[in-house]
Structure 1
Amino acid sequence: MSLPRHAHSEHEVLSHLPPTRTVPASEVAERIRSAPRLAVLDDDPTGTQTVKDIPVLTSWSVDDLRWALRQNSTAFFVLTNTRSLAPADAAARNRDIVRALHEASEAEGVPYAIASRSDSTLRGHFPLETDVLAEELASLGVGTPDGVVLVPAYIEAGRLTVESTHWMRTADGLLPVGESEFAKDVTFGYRSSALPDWVEEKTAGRTPADKVLRITLTDLRTHGPTHVAALLSDLRDGATAVVDAVCDDDLRVLALALAEAEEKGARLLYRVGPSFVRARAGQSAHPPLTAPELRPLRGDVPHGLIVVGSHVSLTTRQLDRLRAQRGSLAEYELDVAQLLDDTRRDAHIQETATATAAALETSDAVIRTTREVVTGTDPDASLAISRRVSAALVEAVRLVNSARRPAFVIAKGGITSSDTATHGMEIRRAWARGTLLPGIVSLWQPVDGPAAGIPYIVFAGNVGDDDALADALALLRSAA
């Protein structure tokens, strides 16, 4: 197969790299034993897909945050869902969470560090979120961060950073992320694949590319943690560092370096993809959950619900493969045109939910939105349409759950997963128990509210191969 003009073979990109410096997860776990608890403010729920047995909050009251800080865990997630919000609302939410976190930390006597977790394809409110977090930490007396450490790698999904350029694995080779469909996002689009240039682009020149600290694989693998810690310790006045990573060992070297730099007084804020959290939490990659492990989680209810809101082309292909899978499957569409029509909206949602709940008696069921993307006249208008469609999908899920309890719920898409968890199933506290597929599909176990005990599967729109959704459903069916 000939490669598209801008795709590169993995051998071409990776063959010249220095040998990996092996760092076991146990070494990181021991090193961070007395480190601040990592609070991961996740702009959609898919950041949990690389970890196991980590607390998750969809609410950020002081009581909820105190509960998370009391758990025996090196990290916890707070689902902010800010990627679905307008900039001003995203800023306000980050401020509220940091204030509540600071109060909870003081009440529990547990110090914290903050990671702003966002998309491994570089979509999200940057630099707005890290700017707001830095301002709020300063106002609380914690101190202005010396640096912002940008680590977008997502190893299982093939989002890799080499020589400060961010790549994504495709069927045709490694593609510079700025040339991907994700870079054309109507709300968070960008041009640059080199991370220093991306920082300059997103900060509108406030941070020039040549002022960004580049931590390369040579730094991590050849020179090691103490060298990297010294580089990080030199950050001042909120300067940005970008970090290479191709495997978990690279991220574990970084985790050791961060622990050393912070022990020596460096105040650091992280902007990261999913894989960083696993490394910083002292965890290794875990194999997917097996049918025997899933069986006690899903109980004896026969059929589950699949909720599809993501409209990227990969999700549509996955949905096509799901339809071709053996086994009974009912499918219902929420038509976006009707959802945007105030005269039809409520009735359409009710009709769809009623039909879906009835179908769950005899089969698994899919509720999906129209596959064609409907956009507004500008990014804010497009985001408003996305929120309106997501709200309708969530209301349909709420109605289905109130009529018939499903065996499980799979939510496909970042915003879809967040809104379904928070509003459709009213989850406040949960545990991320592991994955259904290696590092890309997270299973939550809700511990409170009407969804307590219903396995909730968080499935990002932009991950997995064409069979991934069908494979996830097949595994859940095998646990019946």
Structure 2
Amino acid sequence: MTSKPTSKPKIVVLDDDPTGSQTVHSCLLLMKWDVETLRSGLADESPIFFVLTNTRALPPEKALSTTREVCQNLKQAIAQEGITDFLVVSRSDSTLRGHYPIETDAIAEELGSFDAHFLTPAFFEGGRFTRDSIHYLVVNGVPTPVHETEFAKDSVFGYQHSYLPDYVEEKTKGRIAANQVDRFLLSDIRSGTLDRLMQMQNNQCVAVDAETQADLNQFAADVLQAASQGKRFLFRSAASLLTALAALPPQSVAPEDMAAYVRDGKPGAVIVGSHVKKTTEQLEDLLKAPGTEAIEVDVVHLLEESAVERADLLQRTLDRVYEAHTAGKTPVVYTSRQELTFPDIQTRLDFGVAVSTLLMDIEKGLPETIGFLISKGGITSNDTLSTGLALTTARLLGQILPGVSVVRTPDDHSRFPQLPVVLFPGNVGDRSALAEVYRRLRKLN
């Protein structure tokens, strides 16, 4: 397997959930990271590919070991493919949740000698931008510093600062002081940063402003120019930077026409795992749409239930799914919505695993004749690809709404060949967005 020479570096994205591809299309998503699978990503025609590590769902030690393993295998794959020019992106959440700096530290240690690592959390499709090094989320039309939003109170990844240099100092426990973080302000980005990029060394930490896609396009052009002159860069980024780095043409099927991918025009299935407030609101709107069937799964006592009780819950849920499908409806399977509290982080993670295991067992049992599948929630979507559908790779078709990806299973999938699968992050879109995706796939006005 040989690599075609290219004037642009290969963009390798280690994605901590499967939604980082939400601004690009036509590339590979890899659910496994053995050397051969990574070589297939490096050899693919697309300038970008994603390795879905799902580390945001893992405890810190496992996130670290997973990232190291990917990088060690990637080093071998790069050598075997003869790749000399590449950029590495640690793609994470645009609301600053995730294992930072664990993942960027591991990447730097394994792949080594980066001149700088950049924090670029802007994600314009989701209303997130950075100005004066402060990261904002637009809430009901009002730009709000992210530390004032629900995401900053996350029980695993909480934080106290929206000013990125302070965020870095907080997360690195003072190893990188706020005054050591370089800042690319909007005026810097718009006037060009190439000269400063060429001066970077020793994995300098840099916070990058961006209010529009044009800002990141300008920054990416300077980054690629510097990279072509030998500079090595690492990114801790949300999705919008990837649009700029990959510079892809428009996707082949327009978002509003993606019903063309639905198998035989049939009703599908929806699996909702995310618990954020936005998802609950979107779910309420979806269940008002014609042809949907609400199937709530009570998960409150899941950790206390026996294997027999869980098996019974699974069977009862699948019975209702098949009834809905037989009646020509789209079953919407969702976990009970009440907010739960846990005595410690490990119990919360154990609960997440138990819920995911149940949802994936439901997915494995779905009728083989469904026309499409919508997976709501980042971790749920990752598990859908790697466990529910047991995929090694999938081809990204594009976006059905801004920030909402559609992939398709391979032709030779054992149960669901050529099934379009919507990967819908928990915190993306307005109240009607989930219903709109469903309407587009069902060709409803």
TM category (shorter chain) comes to: over 0.9
TM-score of the two chains, using structure 1 as the length reference: 0.87
Map of 1:284-299 to 2, 5 A cutoff? 289-290=254-255, 292-295=257-260, 297-299=261-263
Aligned to 1:3: none
What is the SS of the residue equivalent to 2:202? coil
Aligned to 2:142: 173
Q: Residues of 2 paired with 1:88 and 1:120: CA distance?
A: 22
> In the alignment, is the contact (CA less than 8 A) between 1:426 and 1:449 conserved in 2?
no
What is the SS of the residue equivalent to 2:427? coil
> In the alignment, is the contact (CA less than 8 A) between 1:44 and 1:415 conserved in 2?
yes
User: Percent identical across equivalent pairs?
Assistant: 38
Would you say 1:119 and 2:83 are equivalent positions?
no
Aligned to 1:57: 30
Aligned to 2:52: 79
Map of 1:75-114 to 2, 5 A cutoff? 75-111=48-84, 112-114=86-88
Segments of structure 1 that go 5 or more residues without pairing to the other structure are 1-31, 139-143
1:259, CA displacement in angstroms? 1.4
Would you say 1:268 and 2:233 are equivalent positions?
yes
What is the SS of the residue equivalent to 1:324? coil
Residues 145, 290 of structure 1: CA spacing in aligned structure 2 closer, same or farther, 3 A cutoff?
Answer: closer
RMSD: 1.9
What is the SS of the residue equivalent to 1:35? coil
Question: Which of 164, 176, 188 is equivalent to 2:133?
Answer: 164
1:156, CA displacement in angstroms? 1.2
Question: Which stretch has the larger CA shift, 36-45 or 54-63?
Answer: 54-63
Aligned to 1:393: 359
> In the alignment, is the contact (CA less than 8 A) between 2:258 and 2:441 conserved in 1?
no
Aligned to 1:328: 291
Q: Residues of 2 paired with 1:357 and 1:92: CA distance?
A: 40
Residues 347, 341 of structure 1: CA spacing in aligned structure 2 closer, same or farther, 3 A cutoff?
Answer: farther
Would you say 1:429 and 2:403 are equivalent positions?
no
What is the SS of the residue equivalent to 2:225? helix
> In the alignment, is the contact (CA less than 8 A) between 2:29 and 2:394 conserved in 1?
yes
Q: Residues of 1 paired with 2:252 and 2:175: CA distance?
A: 42
Aligned to 1:19: none
Q: Residues of 2 paired with 1:201 and 1:287: CA distance?
A: 43
What is the SS of the residue equivalent to 2:88? strand
Question: Which of 111, 134, 148 is equivalent to 1:137?
Answer: 111
Q: Which amino acid aligns with 2:90?
A: S
Deviation per residue, 1:89-110 (Å, 9 max, x gap): 1111111111222222222223
Question: Which stretch has the larger CA shift, 113-122 or 355-364?
Answer: 355-364
Aligned to 1:206: 175
Would you say 1:42 and 2:8 are equivalent positions?
no
Aligned to 1:456: 421
Q: Residues of 2 paired with 1:159 and 1:412: CA distance?
A: 20
Would you say 1:470 and 2:429 are equivalent positions?
no
Number of corresponding residues: 435
Residues 393, 263 of structure 1: CA spacing in aligned structure 2 closer, same or farther, 3 A cutoff?
Answer: same
What is the SS of the residue equivalent to 1:270? strand
Question: Which of 157, 163, 175 is equivalent to 1:188?
Answer: 157
Q: Residues of 2 paired with 1:64 and 1:234: CA distance?
A: 35
Would you say 1:313 and 2:280 are equivalent positions?
no
Q: Which amino acid aligns with 2:271?
A: V
Q: Residues of 2 paired with 1:115 and 1:375: CA distance?
A: 33
Aligned to 1:232: 197
Segments of structure 2 that go 5 or more residues without pairing to the other structure are none
1:200, CA displacement in angstroms? 0.6
Deviation per residue, 1:184-236 (Å, 9 max, x gap): 11100101011111111111111111100100110111x22xxx122223333
Q: Which amino acid aligns with 1:169?
A: V
Q: Residues of 1 paired with 2:83 and 2:242: CA distance?
A: 19
Q: Which amino acid aligns with 2:355?
A: V
Q: Residues of 2 paired with 1:155 and 1:416: CA distance?
A: 23
Q: Which amino acid aligns with 2:109?
A: E
Q: Which amino acid aligns with 1:168?
A: L
Q: Residues of 2 paired with 1:360 and 1:185: CA distance?
A: 36
